[in-house]
A = this chain, B = another copy of it.
């Protein structure tokens, strides 16, 4: 997937990408409700989605937010990990069911109502919610919609599901890869409240490859750490985030290494999609940090740069204000006790050296060249529905301290980000 001319051409490519692995059905529906907490009485629209396996499976894994405050779905999901088998996922957007009164009871109640007709024990289903924190789920309206959801289950592709889990996302996101004789498909939502540890991000990874419960639980956390935990949109981490991986076990699995590699590839692309469709994102920024003492410090330096509001706003403005990059590196290093020596620090923007041997290397021509470079990597944050291109702003930092390396992805900070978030709920 590279560039698209419009929503339609993206949708076409996405349908191919999002074909369901064997042994899964998905379905979606919509409903209207009026939140009791909303100042005005206008109704809200909610999407409801479902992933259902043909047979219960013991091969599933989950990684959850590290936020100390968690939503009911995260608490229930953590308990589900000790179930012998699971059968599917029920997901809604608009309301995240976090610290609402009776939140866990509401979620369990919905599962019971939804699955009782199909004879599926509720404890075999993950409930997942994303959206506004603090308000309660509209249980009666959601329960009334579940028959439609069941009727609509199909085996085509997961594009409708990828759409149903969107909140402020710019476009639906799905990535897949062949894996041995089978496939790995991952769909995700996430556009803001994105930093480490899952942020407001939901990832559902479905595969027909018969990877075992043990392998899945070994591989998933590492892959998440190397992909979803190296992206940031605003540094905020939500109370609801999770990545769930489920195998229907229908075809033989290749080696654990091969599964891990394919999964990492799928998740890395999906992680970049999340940043690219971030709230108000007009530039995707890739900050590569080399010659750090440890991977953690490399990640920390990279995150400090791409999280700095001043770096982010400068890039939004196509202004190569590279002094702010040095400020952000030094700020982090000073706080983390990293013995940075600027004499050995090198910074390149789009492969152009801007800081070498303790001093900035800037002149009029270079400033003009860098500004053009930033312009060529820009996207129009008002154009929603599809990724406009796959270009990134490349920042490369060599610390001169060791041999550890990491790359992190982030987004700039635009008027559109402020606009979306100053009035998200209205």
Contact = CB atoms under 8 A, between A and B. Distances in A.
A69 B330 contact: yes
Contacts of A67: 327, 330-331, 333-334
A309 B234 contact: yes
Given A314-B421, A421-B314, A237 B327 contact: yes
Interface residues of A, number: 78
Copies of this chain in its oligomeric complex = 2
A331 B132 contact: no
Nearest to A233: B309
A176 to B, nearest CB: 31
A206 interface: no
A177 interface: no
Interface string A316-355: 1101011110111111111100111010000000000011
Contacts of A42: none
A65 B333 CA distance: 12
A64 to B, nearest CB: 11
Contact of A327 (B238, B413, B417): B238
A358 interface: yes
Interface stretch (A81-89, A97-105, A146-154, A156-164): A97-105
A45 interface: no
A99 B342 contact: yes
Interface stretch (A18-26, A33-41, A269-277): A33-41
A22 to B, nearest CB: 37
A208 B71 CA distance: 57
A223 B36 CA distance: 47
Which of A132, A237, A314 has most B Cβ within 10 Å? A237
Interface in A251-306: none
A371 interface: yes
A120 interface: no
B99 A425 contact: no
Interface of A: 36-39, 65-70, 96, 98-101, 103, 132-135, 192-193, 197, 234-239, 308-310, 313-314, 316-317, 319, 321-324, 326-335, 338-340, 342, 354-355, 358-360, 362-364, 367-368, 371, 413-415, 417-419, 421-426
Closest 3 CB pairs of A and B: A133-B323, A69-B330, A317-B422
11 contacts: A37-B362, A39-B364, A66-B335, A68-B329, A69-B342, A134-B362, A192-B310, A234-B308, A309-B413, A309-B417, A414-B422
